[in-house]
Amino acid sequence: MSLKVLVVDDQGIVRAGFAAVIDAEDDMTVVGEAADGVEAVRLAADLVPDVVVMDVRMPELDGIAATRIITGRENAPRVLVLTTFDLDAYVFDALRAGASGFLLKDVHAAELLQGIRVVAAGESVLAPSATRRLIGHYASGAERARPGSDSGGPQDLATLTGSQRNVLTLLASGLNNAEIAEDLGITVGTVKSHVNALLRKLGLRDRVQATILAYDLGLTRPNPPGGHL
């Protein structure tokens, strides 16, 4: 089945360009387009997309606020935020609002399409510059950018098994599933099971929120800026 994508951007020519690139893929279908956050919220409910490609700066309701509303619903779509502005506030606010990815609009078409597929599969994606800023933020000891919900406090770690806690620590260090499997001597399928279980137990949406939580709780130390999630 094709991934259903909603494209949201206040600039018509940009919106049409993204839509054309996405619609040209065999495994994707653009089910709607929105010019502002209010329309995005309405269409996300009406069209039930798998992924919303969301601009940040828009009239009526900005992309961060729209993302917060959309991801707060039951069976919410994944949100991939695209913006021209590589600013700390946008990165942190987008993740706190529930976005599963953050890319810059000058990204190559292939990276945009891969980003859509990645977030649709339940993973997360961040532009390299955004990753550097996020990790640098933690490495500097700045105020923590916690996930959007209040769940995931220290008491919740008691619900994790030892294996799940090990996976969380390695995940937050930037390792992918295959690398975690090799490090722990288990299968990739087992790693995926542990990731799904720990996300469920901690009330987190994805690996980005899990990484942020691990930093907050001191389970892992950020790599120097330039690392990756």
User: What pLDDT, in 10s, does the model give residues 151-177?
Assistant: 444 446 788 899 999 999 888 776 778
* pLDDT higher at 139 or 203: 203
pLDDT at 124 over 70: yes
Question: 36-69 pLDDT, tens per residue?
Answer: 999 999 999 999 999 999 999 898 899 999 999 9
Cβ burial of 144 (10 Å; 0-12, 13-18, 19+) is middle
Specify the pLDDT at position 158: 82
- CB of 141 within 8 A of CB of 188? no
Q: Which band of pLDDT confidence, cut at 50, 70 and 90, is reported for residue 146?
A: very low
- CB of 95 within 8 A of CB of 212? yes
Q: Is the pTM of this model over 0.85?
A: no
Question: 104-119 pLDDT, tens per residue?
Answer: 888 899 999 999 998 8
What residues form DSSP beta bridges with 88?
none
d(CA 228, CA 91): 15
33-37, 71-75, 84-88, 141-145 — which one is most confidently predicted on average?
Answer: 33-37
Q: Which of 49-53, 84-88, 189-193 has the lowest mean pLDDT?
A: 84-88
